[in-house]
Amino acid sequence: MKVVIRMNNKFKSKGFSLIELIAVIAILGIVYAIIFQIFTTQTKIYSNEVIKNDVQNSGRLCLNSISNSIINDSNNTNRPDPNPTDTPEAFNGSNFQSKLKVSSSNGDYWYILDKSNNQLCKITTIGNKNIIANNVEDVNVSDVTISENSNNKIYKITVTIKKDNYTKVFTTEVSLRNGEGL
């Protein structure tokens, strides 16, 4: 809106011209575009950090659960079996991979990788299924022989976790000393 005031036979206008308004709108558009770009970049960074955190937590859960099972049940006469062949029947199939069998005073249980859901599960003798972690790509538990004369037994645990495009491999070793687990 322009107000025209007549002063000394000259017209003087008050207000903004169309050019000034267009310039302000253009500057505001640039500022909004920069703010939007910063916002979307921060959102992507946050999402990536959430994925990395989820992968880290899943890897730690897997390693802790398996290593605690090996340590806590190693006083039994049976050693953990990293290559079990006697998986419970309900979990025999192409979608399930048996990764570890642990015999304890409370009965046997297996760590099984459910490939259809990428879940690591702990299965009891009666078939109870406890999900340990999601996004598990692979689990490997292996015996590491120190020397034939040693009573020490070491189990190497490797867990691969994959979520979206982020993959991380976690590794730890559990040592049973002085004949524990024999």
Tell me what pLDDT residue 181 has: 45
Tell me what pLDDT residue 109 has: 84
What is the chain's mean pLDDT, rounded? 82
Tell me what pLDDT residue 33 has: 97
Above 60 in pLDDT, residue 41? Answer: yes
Interval 73-92: pLDDT, tens: 765 556 677 777 777 777 77
DSSP-derived letter for residue 33 is H
Whether residue 91 contacts residue 98, with contact meaning beta carbons closer than 8 Å, is answered with yes
Q: How far is CA 24 from CA 2, 14, 32, in A?
A: 17, 17, 12
Tokens found for residue 163: 């979520």
Three-state DSSP class for residue 55: helix
Residue 45: count other Cβ atoms within 10 Å of its Cβ: 10
Above 90 in pLDDT, residue 23? Answer: yes
Tell me what pLDDT residue 180 has: 47
Tokens found for residue 32: 């909004």
Tell me what pLDDT residue 83 has: 73
* Percent of the chain whose predicted confidence (pLDDT) is above 90: 36
DSSP-derived letter for residue 80 is P
Q: Which residue has the higher pLDDT, 56 or 85?
A: 56
Confidence of residue 64 (pLDDT cuts 50, 70, 90): very high
Tell me what pLDDT residue 11 has: 56
Whether residue 118 contacts residue 88, with contact meaning beta carbons closer than 8 Å, is answered with no
Tell me what pLDDT residue 99 has: 81
Half-sphere exposure of residue 78, counting CA atoms within 13 Å on the CB side? 15
d(CA 72, CA 122): 15
Confidence of residue 5 (pLDDT cuts 50, 70, 90): low
What strands, in cross-sheet order, belong to the sheet with 136-144? 136-144, 153-163, 166-176
Q: How far is CA 160 from CA 17, 45, 101, 116, in A?
A: 65, 23, 19, 16
Q: Which helix (H) or strand (E) holds 161?
A: strand 153-163
DSSP-derived letter for residue 174 is E
Interval 122-171: pLDDT, tens: 888 777 888 999 999 988 888 776 656 566 778 889 999 999 889 999 99
